[in-house]
Amino acid sequence: MRIKWFSFVRIAGLVSVLTYHFFKNAYPGGFIGVDIFFTFSGFLITALMLDEFAKTQRFRLLAFYRRRFYRIVPPLVLSVLVVVPLTYLISPNYITGLGKQIAAAIGFTTNYFEIMTGGSYESKFIPHLFVHTWSLAVEMHFYLIWGLLIAIFTQIIRRFDFDDAKKSRIFRRSVGILSLILTIESFTAMAVGSAGLADFSKVYFSSVTHSFPFFVGALLASFTGIKDIPRAFDRLMARSNVFVVSAELILTFVVLGLLGLRMQFSNRATYTGGILLASLLAALAIMLARILHNCTPNRQEPRWASFIADISYSMYLYHWPLFVIFSQLVSVPWAVVITLAIGVPFSALSYYIIEPMIAGKRPRALHGFSNVRLRGLQQVFVGAAVLLFAVTGYTAYRAPALTGLERQLWIGGIYQSTDQMTTTKNVVMAAVKTPSANGQTPAAPTKAPKGVSIIGDSVTLGTRDYLGKHVADSTIDAQGERTMDLAYNVMMTQQKNHVLRQNVVICIGTNALDGWQQQLDKLIHDLEPGHRLILVTPYDQRANPSWNSSKLADYERTLPAKFKFITIADWQKLAAQHPDVFKGTDGVHFAGRESGDIIYAQAVNDGLKAAAKTPLKK
């Protein structure tokens, strides 16, 4: 039984996710589209379970798993096979660890693979082609656990000495209570687990913390249903007005859209209520669509809506890797067009032809075409699959283990560790060789040593070798993911050990967290007299004025007017003049390109030249 208007719930989820991935800055909360899908899946699966028990007084677990397998796995495998050959169009960086990515996707463990490898849904470096399959992992984990729990419940309830109608009512109530308990537990785990996190990917990816939208949908199913409907909900539908329900449904979609405009992945409020609110709104939309189905017995759902809903799952699979690939070759608008031009036909091919054939059924698209030989069509697809499997296997085997950026950071880290050991040794030896008159360690020097101390993040670490050779008399301490408070700790340690040089260059800000202004003010205040401070403004090609990194850069430019010992090295401005340096990158790092090394060193040296004309801190 197909419920009219459910297609619009699926479409709302798909449009939200696609808009988020295509235009993330314009629609920063579009990731709630995944929660719309989760809530709908929880409702639909649970409603079908309730219908099956009401009709047969049984729930066939293996049949349920088999249906889920045929619906989820073939489109997933096909999308991988289609996408991988297209990776030859772009940099090998984008297939780094491809074999592991594919294994995680097909093994439905991408969510925990990303957690263990330090991946972020916001993707600060080169994005994984199949990172979006984290949601399939969470969904599959829900199916496995929920199916098993339902099977156990049905076996228990079947033993009751009641008539079938009463057993069905007990089963429905039990499902509702269990759904409510699991919703509360999962949501609480996300809300509590998000406390103190700088990156919320751990609670976002985890099946434990992000399964509550499914149970919100399951809870709704226990109150409503598809075929087997409780009397209270049946009476509600009988009293409903088609115009009122239609208006309420449209309004619900509008509120979901506005929520997508307001929510932020990096805001903790998203995890303490935002995602739950999105799930509840999705549940409301599902309920209203179910009521509208009954209110419009003589109306048909538009064919275009049914088509988009049918291909929504496959389109979700194709859109992200295709967009990642083509956005490296053409502008974003054209990448969107190409992604849709390739994704829609392959999604339709998957749903209407290939998936039914794999399940042993006649393809949906061939109904009415009895003259089409199915066996010949199957042979064509098998041949194509063999070829694509060979290409995918070869590509995964030849894929690099590290991206160019990761190699640069790794090498830079080794050089830095060596330099730090040398610096520490020199400090200790100087103290040993220069005792005071009474044999004690000499007093701290009254003047800071001349030269340049550079304290930076992953951008600085990636260009560390070049920077060290082209910034005279400099030492460099850089680390990935370094924030202003961590840079403060490095500066204070060097200051305490009397190795902080006269010119202090702070290359921090891309990873700016809330409280960045207080952190920078503290760094300025605690810098001892005898130093100059050169602040390198952060650059992120993706950033808009609302980002912390943009606000930090604007604030830094106001400081020289207040503090004569502060100078700005405007990397943000200089980098924006050289967009080619960042082509094919994450928009922050330049992946070891010498052209990027040159302009970064130029920004630092320009800042140092300007600083030479300013006084030391008094």
- Per the rule left: phi > 0, alpha: psi between -120 and 50, beta: everything else, 442 is beta
pLDDT of residue 123: 45
Distances (CA, A) of 77 to 8, 63, 135, 289, 354: 26, 21, 15, 32, 11
Residue 594 confidence class, pLDDT cut points 50, 70, 90: confident
First to last CA, the chain: 79
The pTM score is 0.79
For domain 404-611, which architecture applies? 3-Layer(aba) Sandwich (3.40)
Residue 170 confidence class, pLDDT cut points 50, 70, 90: very high
On whether the CB atoms of residues 70 and 359 are closer than 8 A, the answer is: yes
Structure tokens at 485: 């408070």
pLDDT of residue 122: 43
pLDDT of residue 116: 85
pLDDT digit string (tens) for 5-40? Answer: 999 999 999 999 999 999 988 899 999 999 999 999
The CB density around residue 615, as the number of other CB atoms within 10 Å, is 9
The CB density around residue 76, as the number of other CB atoms within 10 Å, is 19
Q: Of 89, 4, 513, which Cα lies nearest the Cα of 294?
A: 4
Which amino acid type is present at position 195? A
Structure tokens at 529: 């007299």
**Is the pLDDT higher at 360 or at 273?**
273
Q: Is the dihedral of CA 223, 229, 232, 237 positive or negative?
A: positive
Which amino acid type is present at position 87? T
pLDDT digit string (tens) for 391-404? Answer: 999 999 988 876 65
pLDDT digit string (tens) for 265-310? Answer: 989 999 999 999 999 999 999 999 999 999 999 999 999 999 999 9
pLDDT of residue 65: 96
Q: Of 420, 566, 415, 427, which Cα lies nearest the Cα of 503?
A: 566
pLDDT digit string (tens) for 524-563? Answer: 999 999 999 999 999 988 777 888 889 999 999 999 999 9
Backbone angles phi, psi at 475, to 5 degrees: -120, 150
pLDDT of residue 377: 75
**Is the pLDDT higher at 362 or at 50?**
50
Average pLDDT along the chain: 89
Average pLDDT on 233-248 reads: 95
On whether the CB atoms of residues 321 and 129 are closer than 8 A, the answer is: yes
- What is the C-alpha to C-alpha distance for residues 551 and 449, in angstroms, rounded to an integer? 33
On whether the CB atoms of residues 210 and 203 are closer than 8 A, the answer is: yes
- What is the C-alpha to C-alpha distance for residues 448 and 444, in angstroms, rounded to an integer? 10
CB neighbour list of residue 516: distance below 8 Å, 6 or more residues apart: 484, 509, 548, 551, 552
pLDDT digit string (tens) for 421-480? Answer: 555 555 555 455 555 555 555 554 557 899 999 999 888 888 888 898 999 999 999 887
On whether the CB atoms of residues 120 and 28 are closer than 8 A, the answer is: no
pLDDT of residue 163: 87
- What is the C-alpha to C-alpha distance for residues 596 and 601, in angstroms, rounded to an integer? 9
On whether the CB atoms of residues 123 and 25 are closer than 8 A, the answer is: no
Residue 358 confidence class, pLDDT cut points 50, 70, 90: confident
Q: Is the dihedral of CA 388, 393, 398, 402 positive or negative?
A: positive
Residues recorded for the chain: 618
pLDDT digit string (tens) for 69-122? Answer: 999 999 999 999 999 999 999 878 788 889 999 999 999 999 999 888 765 544
- What is the C-alpha to C-alpha distance for residues 349 and 343, in angstroms, rounded to an integer? 10
pLDDT of residue 480: 78
H helices of 228-302, in order, are 231-239, 242-262, 274-295
Angle of helix 548-558 relative to helix 516-526, nearest 10 degrees? 40
Residue-range domain boundaries for the chain? 6-398, 404-611
On whether the CB atoms of residues 514 and 546 are closer than 8 A, the answer is: no
- Counting residues of the chain whose pLDDT is more than 70, the rounded percentage is 89
Backbone angles phi, psi at 566, to 5 degrees: -105, 135
Beta bridge partners of 456: 478, 507
